[in-house]
Structure 1
Amino acid sequence: MRALFLRDLQLSVRAGGGALTGVLFFMAVVAVIPFGVGPDLDLLSRIGPAILWIGALLSSLLGLDRLFQAERDDGSLDLMLMQDQPLVMTVLVKCLAHWMATGLPLVIAAPVLGLFMNMAPVAIGACALTLLVGSPGITLIGAVGAAAAVALPRGGLIVSILVLPLAIPLLIFGVSATYAAVEEPAPFLPPFLMLTAITLFFAVLGPLAAAFALRAASE
């Protein structure tokens, strides 16, 4: 499992730019917002958490189709299916490596981009914390879509279509928790705990569903 984690981490970083591509796309999404809404700093501050979450969600979709594609191309996917190690654990390790290479850099970049959106320090901290908790859930959901589309030659768009609706609850509770941290009457903990619960739910269900999809695709 350790060797698989290190191998996938290296492949995620090198293949297609990995972390750099996601961060650059994240920056591009945030950078074009002021041109669309105008130079109103108060408005940018209000919509900043939603923009950061939407940008991180869209950036996380990049490269999800390659989660199992390398193993499919070189034939090692068949070996993964026949090994003694449970396939669910293999999928979970691959998801962790993918998130470390593509999701964690987005969490690190979020505070810097929050400054561009004129967000308050509390909002920046809350947004980074919610992304840290919620972004693994996007990867775990994406594993299901990537496994379902692994047999398709160009499944990137299909993976995005499958993953995006399922990731909406993460977006809702992530943004709600961030706004609650800024607005005094609204409690931060309930939406944050719901966000954590959704991520944990997909941490269990995602690898199971992805393993089932991989076995179905190989038959």
Structure 2
Amino acid sequence: MERGISFTQAFWTLLVRDIKIAIRHRGDIFNPLLFFILVVTLFPLGVGPEPQMLSRIAPGVIWVAALLASMLSLERLFKADYSDGTLEQMLLSPQPLPIMVLAKVIAHWLLTGVPLIIIAPLLGLLLNLESGSYGALISTLALGTPVLSLLGAIGVALTVGLRKGGVLLSLLILPLYIPVLIFATSAIDAAGMNLPYDGQLAIIAAMLVGSLTLAPFAIGASLRVSTN
């Protein structure tokens, strides 16, 4: 029982620590959100203000922007801990490494994914998103953005020891993001045509469950490989 309590304490301590650090460096929170807003708002200027055109591309634009914003914030996930030696202490800690990396990924999602979910419906109005699609938009972002954080963390863990790992990181994780993007935009399109989209949501939910189960172990193993 004591080990179980210590696991919980380690998880919450690391989660709260990462959130407090991010609050002190507010740019880490606002930069991805600002990038998300800028990418979405530039599309009407580029393709024109025609409502039908904007409505047709809105699901893809919002989700691609959310995906890129998530990638923008990923590189800092383990970088600071690697630089100041905290990551090495985590690797040597008696606490399970998957538990600790899961706390860091959840903190990342709370600071980047949740703001994207909140602001996305407002940007949907800008792109003339179909009124019936907002529920699907919020649902797919709520299920899909944690998957982006979990899968992206694997790539970050593999490249944490590299000085310029940004390009390699993109090449590693973009193929993993494609299924989430496909099923999320398909669900929003189906909702806009008043068609059922439960199947797409179920697939994204299955991806989330699989990622929550397997990704922390993959992240831990990747950190051990990349720091040795």
Contact preservation (8 Å) 1:64, 1:156: no
Give the CA deviation at 1:205: 2.0
Q: Which runs of 5+ in 2 are unaligned?
A: 1-10
Q: TM-score normalized by structure 2?
A: 0.91
Give the CA deviation at 1:49: 1.1
Give the CA deviation at 1:136: 0.4
**How far apart, in 2, do the equivalents of 1:10 and 1:105 lie?**
16
Q: Percent of counterpart pairs with the same letter?
A: 42
Pair 1:195-2:195 in alignment = no
Pair 1:126-2:107 in alignment = no
Deviation string, structure 1 residues 106-158 (Cα, Å, up to 9, x no partner): 11110110010111232122112110110000000111011000101222232
**How far apart, in 2, do the equivalents of 1:197 and 1:14 lie?**
35
Q: TM-score normalized by structure 1?
A: 0.95
Pair 1:60-2:75 in alignment = no
Q: Which runs of 5+ in 1 are unaligned?
A: none
* 2:155 equivalent among 145, 148, 152: 145
Superposed, 1:135-174 pairs within 5 Å as 135-174=145-184
Q: Residue type of the partner of 1:20? A: F
Pair 1:89-2:93 in alignment = no
Q: Residue type of the partner of 2:71? A: L
* 2:56 equivalent among 38, 42, 46: 46
Pair 1:4-2:4 in alignment = no
Give the CA deviation at 1:160: 2.1
Give the CA deviation at 1:201: 1.3
Contact preservation (8 Å) 1:12, 1:102: no
**How far apart, in 2, do the equivalents of 1:54 and 1:124 lie?**
16
CA RMSD of aligned residues (A): 1.3
* 1:215 equivalent among 193, 211, 224: 224
* 2:82 equivalent among 69, 72, 79: 72
**How far apart, in 2, do the equivalents of 1:73 and 1:16 lie?**
20
Q: Residue type of the partner of 1:96? A: I
Tell me the number of residue pairs that the alignment of Structure 1 and Structure 2 aligns: 218
